[in-house]
Amino acid sequence: MGVKVHAQTSGEDNAYVNAVYELSSLFLKRLLRPWLHPEWIFRRSALGRRQHEVLSVVHGYTRKVIRDRKLALQQNDSECNQPTENEFGRKKRLAFLDLLLRSATDTGLLTDEDVREEVDTFMFEGHDTTTAGMCWALFLLALHPDVQEQVHQEIDSIFNGSDRPATMQDLNEMKLLERCLKETLRLYPSVAIFGRTLSEDVNLGGYDVPAGTIIGIHTYNVHRDERFFPDAETFDPDRFLPEHTERRHPYAYIPFSAGPRNCIGQKFALLEEKSLVASVLRRFRIRSHRTRSEQLIVNELITRPKDGILLYLEDRKR
């Protein structure tokens, strides 16, 4: 968004981060209590009142970010109207929020609240999901030193001992690491369940389900279908070699959903995960304190590791 949040330096006192976590918990509590599904009942319940308070924190923070960014752009028209150059002499791309604000100003089609909703989507969905994915990836690589060693070799062949930052070309060359990330998202999809409203009548397993029904799609279980993923609980990045993926049903693997409502940020998410996981593995060998059976999962909106991931990091230069 082009704005510093300082979430990692403010410890547990970051109001926005805490509000996001609480919203996830409140959503699940409401979901499991059918009597709270009607909006007019929920608004009058203790959970509903608390959700309203927490949403005020989230929306208030986002509105402040938008307000501050609009002011900054108004004070610097050149930044708003044409990208500047960075230290490499390339045109500096505008932040997503700047693009939204420019569009709102130029077309008049987006109100501040429209912009706020788009920013909420990216900030809410764009940090927690990738964080979980990177945690699970490091966990699985720590449990499979043979695969980890192959990833180390791939990274070393790209950087040749250099400490330079990774470029887009470097990230695109990390084919094995990408397969590891995809296999991680198969075993631990960041969003383990998502909902869809049927637009037409459907027959599912002999049952007629009418249009307008909300159905839950369990990604976690879809990814364990032995027809498409034999020995499904085994971590095997080679499942995503081209010769295996081209014959697989396109909806057998859906960590980012599928169809017209799939995740708008899925390519960016994989690049982000590659960048961070590669940065860790360039410097460290990792071992896990827990086995997969010992590592419990918390399923709220996001598939999180309960009590975090405990890893040992060994400096590779020693």
Do the annotations mark residue 263 as ligand-binding?
A: yes
3-state secondary structure of 147: helix
Closest C-alpha to 130, from 224, 12, 265: 265
- Among 307, 234, 312, 305, residue whose Cα is nearest residue 280: 312
Assess contact for 1 and 123: CB atoms under 8 A: yes
Identify the CA nearest to 27 among candidates 135, 131, 134, 128. 128
Angstrom distance (rounded) from CA 295 to CA 139: 10
Quick check: 50 and 81 in contact, CB under 8 A? no
Q: How far apart are CA 287 and CA 181, in angstroms?
A: 17
**Alpha carbons 76 and 103: distance in angstroms, whole number:** 17
* Known binding-site positions: 263
* Known binding-site positions for heme: 263
